[in-house]
Amino acid sequence: NGLIVSFGEMLIDFVPTVSGVSLAEAPGFLKAPGGAPANVAIAVARLGGKAAFLGKLGDDEFGHMLAGILKENGVSADGVRFDKGARTALAFVTLRADGEREFMFYRNPSADMLLTPDELNLDLIKSAKVFHYGSISLIVEPCRSAHIKAMEVAKSAGALLSYDPNLRLPLWPSAEYAKEQIMSIWNKADVIKVSDVELEFLTGSNKIDDESAMSLWHDNLKLLLVTLGEKGCRYYTKQFRGSVDAYHVKAVDTTGAGDSFVGALLGKIVDDHAIIQDEAKLKEVLKYSCACGAITTTKKGAIPALPTHSEVLSVLNGPK
Ligand code: ATP
């Protein structure tokens, strides 16, 4: 199995013990470890692949707890650094009764933002067959420079670059700056996955169709994916395009569905990049990835809900 290195943030979401309340009304909170790039690494490992997470945590109990979660799940923490001065990032998150998601971040600055280019484990990055990242690591220095350097080292060593922007607008100083920074590394990626919401944000169009998706195409791109929640996903390559339906499940918490989808996809293409050029094979892989995303919505939290390979097989072989 080829190694997938996932770069970026790992943090703890604090979610209310009861649903449908505002942050102020919540009687208490439960720890839900997350951070999209960390979720992707764990998703890969759960499914039987080889993964490493690269990023910075606070040298505190929470940071060491998170590193422990990576290791328990078989993810290499050889690229994890601990900051003596800054805390592990925290976010308080709630889905209010009116359906609005409310976030409150504790990042002033948090350890993940302080990773420097000198702290990168270059040997680990050079051994990656796939290098995956988001955009939260682009928000501030020095992490931004570390991100750019890691991408360049991975690319020169022959890795496939995978990008899921994972827009978190409240973390950016402005929407314009978010868009500019997210797009500043667009042309480097071989594989890009956006959600319907991100497609609208990045194109400025309120249409989610082939035309708006293709406006995000760039010359060196190999595969563009648009995920549509319970409507499945659409795929675009130079040669063909199409869609894959979602699996019908009773969703209780969609957190991590996109990360599960990406982890499943990367785990399949890491050892066979040619899948991207073969529509029949790619569709099979995307069915598998959609099943992973669907399963992840059936349990609370991201990491506890990431499936194993045998769980996915039982969904794929069961009634659709
Ligand atoms: P998130 O940011 O919440 O992790 P995302 O917005 O990046 O997710 P989604 O489109 O929500 O990504 O989900 C990714 C994939 O997971 C979808 O393409 C779909 O196959 C599956 N999925 C997500 N939500 C559901 C659902 N309610 N029912 C069935 N499948 C789902």
Best residue for ligand 1 mutational test, from 247, 285, 297 (most atoms within 8 Å of Cβ): 297
Protein residues with CB under 6 Å of any ligand 1 atom? 195, 227-230, 232-233, 246-247, 249, 251, 254-259, 261, 290, 293-294, 297
Q: Which residues contact 65 (CB under 8 A, 6 or more apart)?
A: 33
| Edge-to-edge order in the sheet of strand 101-106 | 29-34, 11-16, 90-95, 101-106
**DSSP line for 100-126:** -EEEEEE-SS-GGGG--GGG--HHHHH
pLDDT, tens only, 60-112: 999 999 999 999 999 999 999 999 999 999 999 998 888 778 899 988 899 99
pTM for this predicted structure = 0.97
The residue whose CA is least distant from atom 5 of ligand 1 is: 258
Q: Which of 52, 209, 27 is nearest to 123 (CA)?
A: 52
Confidence (pLDDT) at 57:
98
Q: What is the pLDDT of residue 214?
A: 96
The residue whose C-alpha atom lies closest to atom 28 belonging to ligand 1 is: 230
Which stretches of the chain score pLDDT less than 50?
none
Q: Is-contact 48 271, C-beta < 8 A?
A: no
Pairing of strands 90-95, 101-106: antiparallel
Compute the distance from residue 232 Cα to the ligand 1 centre, in Å: 7
Confidence (pLDDT) at 100:
79
pLDDT at 320: 54
Indicate which residue's Cα is closest to atom 15 of ligand 1. 293
Q: What local confidence, expressed as pLDDT, does residue 169 receive? A: 93
* pLDDT recorded at residue 216: 97
ipTM above 0.95, yes or no: yes
> How far away, in angstroms, is 127 Cα from ligand 1 center?
30
Q: Ligand 1: distance of its center to the CA of 316 in Å?
A: 16
Distance CA 177, CA 81 (A): 28
Per-residue model confidence (pLDDT) at position 19: 87
